Structure 1
Amino acid sequence: MSFQKRLSSGEFVVLAEMNTPKGVDTSQFVADARRIKGRVDAVIVPDMDNGVMRMSALAGGVLMHQLGLESIIHVYCRDRNRMALQGDLLAAYALGIQNIVVVCGEDMKNADHHNAKPVNDLSELELLGAIRTLEAGSDLSGIELNGAPQFTTGCTMAPWRDEKGFEQELELTGRKVKAGAEFVVTPPVFDLQRFVPFAEQTRQLGIPVIPTVFLIKSVGVARYIATNEPAAGMTEEIIQRIRKASDREMECVRIAAEAISAIKESVQGVRLVTLGWEHRLPAILDLAGL
């Protein structure tokens, strides 16, 4: 069953995120994908979201299809103007990619190409509108297309620091839904108690909510998140649990699997982000019973 059909039927979807290589050697990318074939509903392929130059998501999505895996690619406005965005969307559809997520590309100050100039010709809301326009059969200049694409389009929520920040983000996400988003991917879930009321409130969006489960790799990573990303909700309990474990790497895998099990009944899917530890995806899925 396709990702779109599982979403529309209300079934739980499992998504794994995999970055394309920084270069043309796709052997590891392909090997990691083969390990999870038949175990996830789609692979999300980012498109240099963090400002690190890599092979494009378009190529990564095509590689997934060649392996028999459905893909979802990121689309955003930082690096392309409206013409390039529309052209890439048409190309993606022609190459078999029918699932996209409109995201906000990260600031170039943390990129590996500091002199690159951001474009931001459209906003996220305008890009969602552009996708709807293409699906209706014309481009942003009003010129009729020779064949229109049909996408399953998602959006993302940014992290928030407090209740007011959450309300603002929820309101913005509601506007994205009105602009055409059909599902929403949330920031990583670390504090499960904090997640429960969040899941309840996001039901008002009226679309499937897919939270992110992030594989913490070490105590250092957990401490970094707690110190530098307070909005993420990293808890001292998680940090101490990893620190005290005899096998810290396996404990991180267990924490990710437990998070999936804990949220599964409240939402319609999960996005697994492992950032270089894609070889650990099968173990997480095993422990989560997926």
Structure 2
Amino acid sequence: MSFQKKILSGDFVVLAEFDPPKGVDASDLVSNLMTVKGRVDGVIVPEMAQAVMRMSALGGAALMQQQGMETIMQICSRDRNRLALQGDILAAYFLDIRNLLVVPGEEIIYGDHIDAKPILDIDELTLLRAIKGLQNGVDMAGMELKGSPEFVTGCSIKPAKNEMALEAELELAQKKVKEGAQFLVTPPVFNIPVFKDFMKKAKPLGIPVIATVFLLKSVGVARYIATNVPGAHVPDEMIARLRKSPDRITECVTIAAELVKSLKELCQGVQLVTMGWENRLPAILDAAKI
């Protein structure tokens, strides 16, 4: 069953994030894709994550579609104006990409081209409205299209450092739902009790929630996230497990798998983010019995 059918029918979905290559050699990407083909329901293709230059999400998603993977293409207004965004959305449909994920996009100052100028012609709500308009056969200028695309479109929420910030994010998410968002992807989840509380607050949104499971990779990464990512809630005992383990790679895979198992009871899907360790995805799926 496809990602689209599963997400719309209420079935649990398993997604994996794969960055497009930084260059034109996609051999490693394709090799890693093949290890999860048939085991995940779809692949999320980031739009120059962390504002680091690489192949566009459109090009990367087209490449992955050619490998027989169903893709969910991220799209943001950081680097393109409304003309380019609408053109790329139409191109995505022509290239058999049927799922979009509207994201804010990280600020350019955090990337590798800090002299680049952000565009930010429209915000996330306006972009969702534009996608809905294109599906109804009309562009942002009110001009009719010759044939209209059909997508399943998702949105994301930013990490929230406190309850007030979380409430603001959920209020914004409700507006995104009104503009056509059909599923929600969360920031990385490390603390199950905290996530249970979040799910109670997110229930009024009325759309499927996909939780992000982030492979910690090392004690240093875990500590950095705990200290610098708002609302990450990395438990101290999780960091201690990594620190004490004689085999930290296996331990981080085990932790990710445990999170997946717990999240299956709480939401409608998970997104596995391995940040360069895509070769560990099969081990996570094995440990999670997926």
TM-score range, shorter chain: over 0.9
Cα deviation code 1:100-154 (max 9, x no counterpart): 0000111111110111000000000000000011001011111111110011000
Residue 149 of structure 2 corresponds to residue 143 of structure 1? no
Deviation at 1:177, TM superposition (A): 0.4
Q: Report % sequence identity.
A: 58
Deviation at 1:234, TM superposition (A): 1.3
Cα deviation code 1:175-213 (max 9, x no counterpart): 100011000000100111111111122111100000100
**Equivalent residues in 2 for 1:255-274 (5 A)?**
255-274=255-274
In structure 1, distance between residues paired with 2:239 and 2:17: 24
- Unaligned regions of 5+ residues in structure 1, if any? none
2:158–2:169 Cα contact (<8 Å) kept? yes
Report the TM-score, using the length of structure 1 for normalisation.
Answer: 0.99
**Equivalent residues in 2 for 1:39-188 (5 A)?**
39-188=39-188
SS at match of 1:232: coil
In structure 2, distance between residues paired with 1:286 and 1:253: 10
The alignment of Structure 1 onto Structure 2 pairs a total of residues equal to: 290
Q: Which amino acid aligns with 2:285?
A: L
In structure 2, distance between residues paired with 1:126 and 1:225: 31
Residue 37 of structure 1 corresponds to which residue in structure 2?
37
In structure 2, distance between residues paired with 1:139 and 1:9: 29
Deviation at 1:49, TM superposition (A): 2.8
Residue 21 of structure 2 corresponds to which residue in structure 1?
21
SS at match of 2:74: strand
2:218–2:248 Cα contact (<8 Å) kept? yes
Name whichever of 69-78 and 232-241 sits farther off.
232-241
2:210–2:269 Cα contact (<8 Å) kept? yes
Q: Which amino acid aligns with 1:54?
A: R
SS at match of 2:147: coil
- Unaligned regions of 5+ residues in structure 2, if any? none
Return structure 1 stretches of 4+ with deviation > 3 angstroms: none
In structure 2, distance between residues paired with 1:273 and 1:107: 20
Deviation at 1:73, TM superposition (A): 0.6
Q: Which amino acid aligns with 1:220?
A: G
Quote the RMSD (CA, aligned, Å): 0.8
Residue 215 of structure 2 corresponds to residue 212 of structure 1? no
In structure 2, distance between residues paired with 1:169 and 1:240: 31
In structure 2, distance between residues paired with 1:230 and 1:91: 36
Residue 3 of structure 1 corresponds to which residue in structure 2?
3
2:162–2:231 Cα contact (<8 Å) kept? yes
In structure 1, distance between residues paired with 2:222 and 2:120: 32
Cα deviation code 1:209-265 (max 9, x no counterpart): 001000000001011111212421112111101000010011000000000001101
SS at match of 2:234: coil
SS at match of 2:49: coil
Deviation at 1:60, TM superposition (A): 1.2
In structure 2, distance between residues paired with 1:46 and 1:260: 21
2:44–2:72 Cα contact (<8 Å) kept? yes
Report the TM-score, using the length of structure 2 for normalisation.
Answer: 0.99
